[in-house]
Amino acid sequence: MKKAYVSPFVNHTNEYINRVKAIVSACGYDVQPLSFRTLLSRRALGLFNPENVVLVHWLEARAFSEGHRGAGLRLAGLAQFMVYAVVLLVMRARLVYFVHDHAVHDLTGWRRTFSVWLIRLLSRLADVRVVHDPSHAGRYRAAYLPHPLYRDQLPAEAGRARAAGTAPLRAGILGAVRPYKRIEHIIDLWPSGPALRIRGRADPAYEQVLRTHLSRREPGVPIELVTGFMSREDFAAEMEQLDALILPHADDSALVSGAFFEAIGAVPIVIARSSPFIRWVQGHFEGVLSFDSDEEFVAAVREAQAMQARMAERLPQSARRAQELFGLGACVAHYGQAIGRG
């Protein structure tokens, strides 16, 4: 049986890697970890079999650490990157590199430039490059493959009843609370009336920045910040309470947002900073609103307030469309051909 080595093999922050492993397994591969333990075992012999494949995600990010003032270079991580790069260079298995980001998040100056160079290096080593945003396939000379949706079930037709349009909008920012999302700016802009809940793991220094901005808002503006790790169950429970998910990513480092695939078809409305990917999905989903400026963001929140009841009723149709574009069946149909040797 052909083997597919996957790096990283475990991701505790979301289900993306598990979804990819399920897709590759359904394509007929025996899925194995690509790790230092693998490299020091007999399983490494499979890396020299041209029938096997290696799927690499976010390897460039290992060279950097997170932090409030931006990520910094991590020498131990850079050494890990170099070891893997040598292995990828000399192996005979087919390398499939998933380009998730234009640059590593939260970087500035030469560190950001260096992260772009690492991404370019991995792209050159790869036999196949993959993007989840079709508008960037040409830029990276990559194949477009659907980002896997994070669920297999459609919501029940009557399972998402919503209040009338006059009820306050319940919006949220969920997931990693990190500087590249510029959440403090969203706090400053948030209009009175709708409720905003921010929840996820945060660096203590960045959390203090957010709480300082919260303290400057006038009393009565319903914004809540809850930090700490969220389990998959916690995340799902939070999503169930939302009328709209906010994707404020501000530094143009990511091609797509994984949180979009958590939300689409599960939350009636997604409000996202404009990007090529968001403009593409707006052609497929009515409930995706975008913004570029401060004024457009406030207007998008007001528009979401006006359309929340209608979009709640149309959520099952949105979920079916999401399954057609990003569901397990759609992914398996595309991935096997792209990662194999044809």
CA 7 to chain centre: 16
Residue 69 has pLDDT above 70, yes or no: no
Q: How does pLDDT run across 54-66, given as a tens digit for each residue?
A: 999 999 999 998 7
Above 60 in pLDDT, residue 161?
no
Mean pLDDT of 107-123: 95
Question: 7 pLDDT exceeds 60?
Answer: yes
For the ranges 58-67, 83-92, 150-159, 307-316, the lowest mean pLDDT is seen at: 150-159
- pLDDT band at residue 166 under the 50/70/90 scheme: low
More confident residue, 231 or 26: 26
The residues spanned by each domain of the chain are 3-148+327-339, 170-324
Long-range CB contacts (< 8 A, 24+ apart) of 158-167? 160/268, 160/312, 160/315, 160/316, 161/312, 162/243, 162/268, 162/308, 162/309, 162/312, 162/313, 163/308, 163/309, 164/309, 165/305, 165/306, 165/307, 165/308, 165/309, 165/310, 167/308
Domain boundaries 3-148+327-339, corresponding CATH code: 3.40.50
Q: Report CA-CA distances (Å) from 266 to 62, 240, 251.
A: 32, 8, 26
Residue with tokens 């659907």: 146
Task: Please tell me which residue, 165 or 103, carries the higher pLDDT value.
Answer: 103
C-beta neighbour count of 37 within 10 angstroms = 11
User: So what's the pLDDT on residue 290?
Assistant: 96
| Fold observed for domain 170-324 | Rossmann fold (3.40.50)
pLDDT at 163: 46
pLDDT in tens, 285-342: 999 999 999 999 999 999 999 999 999 999 999 999 999 999 999 999 999 889 886 5
What is the Cα–Cα distance from 191 to 205, expressed in whole angstroms? 25
pLDDT-wise least confident of 71-75, 90-94, 291-295: 71-75
> 328 and 22 in contact (C-beta within 8 Å)?
yes
pLDDT at 20 over 90: yes
Query: What's this model's pTM, rounded to 2 decimal places?
Result: 0.90
Mean pLDDT of the chain, nearest integer = 91
Whether the CB-CB separation of 318 and 287 falls below 8 Å is answered with: yes
The percent of residues above 90 in pLDDT, for the chain, comes to 77
pLDDT at residue 252, as a whole number: 81
Percent of the chain with pLDDT over 70: 94
Alpha carbon separation from 37 to 40, 175, 254 (Å, rounded): 5, 30, 30
Q: What is d(CA 82, CA 334) in angstroms, rounded to the nearest whole number?
A: 31
Cross-strand pairs, 173: 198
Of 46-60, 61-75, 118-132, 219-233, which gets the smallest average pLDDT? 61-75
Q: How would you classify the pairing of strands 288-291 and 223-227?
A: unpaired
- CA distances for 149 relative to 15, 156, 320, 326, angstroms: 9, 17, 11, 5
Answer yes or no: is pLDDT of 162 > 50: no
Q: pLDDT digit string (tens) for 223-273? A: 999 999 888 889 888 998 999 999 998 778 889 998 999 999 999 999 999
Q: What is the pLDDT of residues 39-48, one digit of tens each?
A: 999 999 999 9
Mean pLDDT on 210-231:
92
Q: 284 or 162, which is more confident?
A: 284
pLDDT surpassing 50 at residue 217: yes
CA distances in angstroms from 103 to 9, 67, 253, listed in the order given: 22, 16, 5
Give the pLDDT band (50/70/90) at residue 277.
Answer: very high
Cβ-contact 132, 145 below 8 angstroms: yes
Contact 278, 248 (CB under 8 A): no
The answer, yes or no, to whether residue 156 has pLDDT greater than 70, is no
